[in-house]
Amino acid sequence: MPNIQQLEDLTTQVRRDILRMVHKVNSGHPGGSLGCAEFFVSLFNEIMETKESFDMDGIGEDLFFLSNGHISPVYYSVLARANYFPVDELNTFRLVNSRLQGHPTTHEGLPGVRIASGSLGQGMSVAIGAAEAKKLNKDNHLIYSLHGDGELQEGQNWEAIMYAAGKKIDNLISTIDLNGQQIDGATDDVLPMGNIKEKFEAFGWTVLEIEEGNNLEAILYGMAKAKAETGKGKPVCVLLKTIMGNGVDFMMHTHAWHGKAPNDEQLEIGLAQNAETLGDY
Amino acid sequence: MKTYTNTGNKDTRSGFGAGLTELGKTNENVVALCADLTGSLKMDEFKANHPERFFQIGIAEANMIGIAAGMTIGGKIPFTGTFANFSTGRVYDQIRQSVAYSDKNVKICASHAGVTLGEDGATHQILEDIGLMKMLPGMTVINTCDYNQTKAATLAIAKHHGPVYLRFGRPKVANFTPEDGDFEIGKAVKLIDGNDVTIVATGHLVWEALEASKVLHEQGISAEVINIHTIKPLDETAILQSVSKTGCIVTAEEHNYLGGLGESVSRVLALHNPTPQEFIATNDTFGESGTPAQLMEKYGLNSSAIQQAVKNVLKRK
């Protein structure tokens, strides 16, 4: 059984990391990062089977692809705290000569990252390719991917969604961060996308919903169910309902912090709401 | 003067198909992806021999590039196949982020490049693809001249680790390079020694350059003909050695002069040995419907155009 308190502590520390990283360089995307903190912590510490050391091919382990690369702060924090690279390196986020680029990349050789992302809509295709390679290699491990809900406005997703169902990519669990926000406002105002669950189902996916996407136990339960749905001839979609900016009260329920860093005072308020648990980097 | 024999017209895309078939037998990591143009790309035999390693993506090129990038994670060597237009311009950002910037070992194999695609017209005749691809950091760009060379290049790029753009065409053209010849990426092939002018050609224009050199020879002009199959990385040494002897150069390609081979050559010359240069290329225009021969004539991409360019450049020495 996972120790929920440990995961809670890690999540709180990850939130601190996110706030401090974007504050230091006065740039980056805290809102979506905070909203997905519980998901990343669960994925990298409980859900995925990963090997001790990182190699690009990742044979014999589960793989993760982040499609909405702008939430790199949460990705970097969770990778560092899962020992993919030194936690101190979080200090270099978005600085010149850093492996922690504004959006994730393989170009600088950062362990844990297998594809560049940031230009939206490309990650599901890449995840499908990795899933096909797993099948060819007779490797029974799974591919996980994460996508923004606003990101689904990119047409390439629907090519990929059609392909994954049509070609029975059933070793893939694609999670959609359903926070209802994008840079210009609520997704319903920017471009109403209708019922995303029905759309995935119409394309032939198995769809599961995690109503409390910021609740660790709900995520662990939901993702275990998703895992149980793999290998049945259909790709699996998880609709993860999250709150953008979760854990920092003034950042929650708004698109305002999608791509904006807190100032000194705001940082202090945010940190006060998230006590240091594992030690700041 | 050394002469080359056409052993019978063949299409370069069939050279790609033959190379892919051979790779299927010799390299189990090679996988092939196609966006609903299996017959046009000559991928049928690979598909028949290795159905488990052939991936029909449907008419979804962006998804094809992304899937190819993902398949490299796990050690596969993906060869994507569609027309040059849909291999490049349509999916530029997918190639840029998921393949080039991500350092993925994807081979983007593109048929029907240039105006020699013919009757389908400008929507399908890309003349900008070399420029698009050579601008991507880390991308190798190859444009082969005949069936044999395309087959050899297909085999060679499987052994090269890194993203490659392999460009070839639709029509049957002269096949004159050695059967089962070596193909060294980035190494120019000097076809004819000459002293008066250097002709550097790529793709379908290589045979036209050879034809031009014969006529020029009869007129007392000694042209050195170099086949530049690899536009990036460019064999700068071969170009500089040749112009140090000839003192002038004509570049020839089935591509816009903007962004093509000619501009890459110009940069080398500007940096190391400023030399008069004439460009055989399309003049910042789209193509149109017509037969390949009609279009090569209309757009100044044949032997007679090369001969004229040589005469023009000789006056500038």
Which domains does chain A carry? Answer: 4-272 (3.40.50.970)
Which pLDDT score, from 0 to 100, does residue A194 have?
96
Classify A160 in phi/psi space as left (phi over 0), alpha (psi -120 to 50) or beta.
alpha
pLDDT tens digits, B105-127? 999 999 999 999 999 999 999 99
pLDDT tens digits, A86-137? 999 999 999 999 999 999 999 999 999 999 999 999 999 999 999 999 999 9
- Among A57, A105, A119, beta carbon nearest to B74: A57
Residues of B belonging to the active site? 61
Which pLDDT score, from 0 to 100, does residue A200 have?
98
Of A136, A127, A138, give the one whose Cα is nearest residue A160: A127
Region B255-281 average pLDDT: 98
Q: Report the distance separating Cα B309 and Cα B291, nearest Å.
A: 23
In A, which residues are within 8 Å of B31 by CB distance? 136
Higher pLDDT among residues A255 and B158, named by residue? B158
C-alpha angle B138-B204-B8 in degrees, rounded to nearest 5: 125
Q: Report the distance separating Cα B191 and Cα B209, nearest Å.
A: 10
pLDDT tens digits, A49-67? 999 999 999 999 999 999 9
Q: Is B216 helix (H, G, I), strand (E, B) or coil?
A: helix
CA distances from B197 to A3, A259, B122, B173 (A): 77, 58, 33, 25
CATH architecture of B10-173: 3-Layer(aba) Sandwich (3.40)
Beta carbons of A238 and A267 less than 8 angstroms apart: no
Higher pLDDT among residues A2 and A194, named by residue? A194
Q: Report the distance separating Cα B251 and Cα B228, nearest Å.
A: 10
pLDDT tens digits, B218-260? 999 999 999 999 999 999 999 999 999 999 999 999 999 999 9
CB neighbour list of residue A6: distance below 8 Å, 6 or more residues apart: none
B55 Cα to chain A: minimum distance (Å): 9
Which pLDDT score, from 0 to 100, does residue A74 have?
98
Strands (DSSP E) contained in A28-142 are 63-66
In B, which residues are within 8 Å of A136 by CB distance? 31, 52-53, 74, 76
Q: Could you count the other beta carbons within 10 Å of the beta carbon of residue A171?
A: 21
Beta carbons of B279 and B306 less than 8 angstroms apart: no
Tell me, yes or no, if the two domains B10-173 and B189-315 fold the same way.
yes
pLDDT tens digits, A235-265? 999 999 999 999 999 999 889 999 999 999 9
The domain defined by B189-315 folds into Rossmann fold (3.40.50)
pLDDT tens digits, B131-149? 999 999 999 999 999 999 9
CB neighbour list of residue B12: distance below 8 Å, 6 or more residues apart: B111, B144, B145, B146, B147, B149, B150, B168, B169, B173, B204
Name the strand (E) or helix (H) holding A81: helix A72-81
- Among A114, A125, A166, beta carbon nearest to B73: A114
Q: Does residue A1 register a pLDDT over 70?
A: no
> B77 to chain A: nearest residue by CA?
A133
pLDDT tens digits, A22-50? 999 999 999 999 999 999 999 999 999 99
Q: Report the distance separating Cα A129 and Cα A145, nearest Å.
A: 12
Q: How confident is the model at residue A266 (pLDDT cuts 50, 70, 90)?
A: very high
Percent above pLDDT 90 for chain A: 98
| Domain range summary for chain B, segments of one domain joined by + | 10-173, 189-315
- The ipTM is 0.97
CA distances from B254 to B1, B13, B145 (A): 26, 16, 11
Q: Report the distance separating Cα A179 and Cα A242, nearest Å.
A: 5
Which pLDDT score, from 0 to 100, does residue B1 have?
87
Q: What is the DSSP letter of A216?
A: H
Residue labelled with tokens 């202090």: A268
Q: What angle do the packed helices A156-166 and B61-71 form, to 10 degrees?
A: 70
Which pLDDT score, from 0 to 100, does residue A2 have?
77
Q: Could you count the other beta carbons within 10 Å of the beta carbon of residue B169?
A: 28
A61 Cα to chain B: minimum distance (Å): 11
Beta carbons of B249 and B265 less than 8 angstroms apart: yes
Of A119, A116, A134, A128, give the one whose Cα is nearest residue A161: A128
Region B12-37 average pLDDT: 98
CA atoms within 13 A on the CB side of A216: 20
In A, which residues are within 8 Å of B104 by CB distance? 115
CB neighbour list of residue B186: distance below 8 Å, 6 or more residues apart: B140, B230, B233, B234, B235
Give chain A's contact residues with B (Cβ, < 8 Å). Answer: 56-59, 63, 65, 105-107, 114-119, 122-134, 136-137, 139, 155-156, 159-160, 162-163, 166
Q: Report the distance separating Cα A114 and Cα B73, nearest Å.
A: 8
Residues B97, B98, B99, B104, CA torsion sign: positive
pLDDT tens digits, B283-304? 999 999 999 999 999 999 999 9
